[in-house]
Amino acid sequence: MKKFEPWVRQAIARLDHANEVDCVGEYSDPLARSLIYEAGQRCAAEGLADLYSRALEFGGGAKEGIGFLAECIAAIEQEPLVLTLNEAAQKLNISPWTLREIVERSRDALQSKRPRGPTIQFAQSSRTAPIMFRPEWLQDFIERHTFDPSQPTQGKAKLESKAAPQTTTERPQIELAKGFDPKFQRRKKG
């Protein structure tokens, strides 16, 4: 992203200058299409899939091209698309070591092992590559593993329903013959 933003600003300046000089659009429109194509390739490299797909379908002139490049800058200045382990831990307000343990638990869950505790979605291309997170994955993790203390949970409601006294005082009679092996039945002496 560090190299992409200056390039986009430079492309806007070039396109704006070409638009001022060429009022008919003979030079500025093809320049706009070529710059938008290159911007689309750079968007794909940065992970901006929606802008990349729009760049492939672009068919406008210089003014539309300037608008598209301005949208690229707005997308760059927004929240980053991927966060490192330390940045994600800071957003979740937990230590990086704790987040690393959650990632290990998640890795176990992916291998069909039974996890004991919360899991999180993450991306890592190899074992030695850095662990990356998307902001929406962090939001999903927060929604799954936090609760509102002011609202009653289902667990408490189940406990209350189990603790309710039974209204019948008689014990149900069990027929001894059903479900039991006859050789274990007590026989009446007599």
Q: Which of 117, 87, 113 is nearest to 102 (CA)?
A: 117
Say whether pLDDT at 108 is over 70: yes
Judged by DSSP in three states, 41 sits in helix
DSSP run (H or E) holding 84: strand 83-84
Enter the pTM of the model.
Answer: 0.43
Q: What is the pLDDT of residues 62-93, one digit of tens each?
A: 788 888 888 888 887 775 678 889 999 999 99
Task: Give the confidence band of 180 by pLDDT, cuts at 50, 70, 90.
Answer: low
Domain ranges in the chain are: 4-77, 83-145
Judged by DSSP in three states, 72 sits in helix
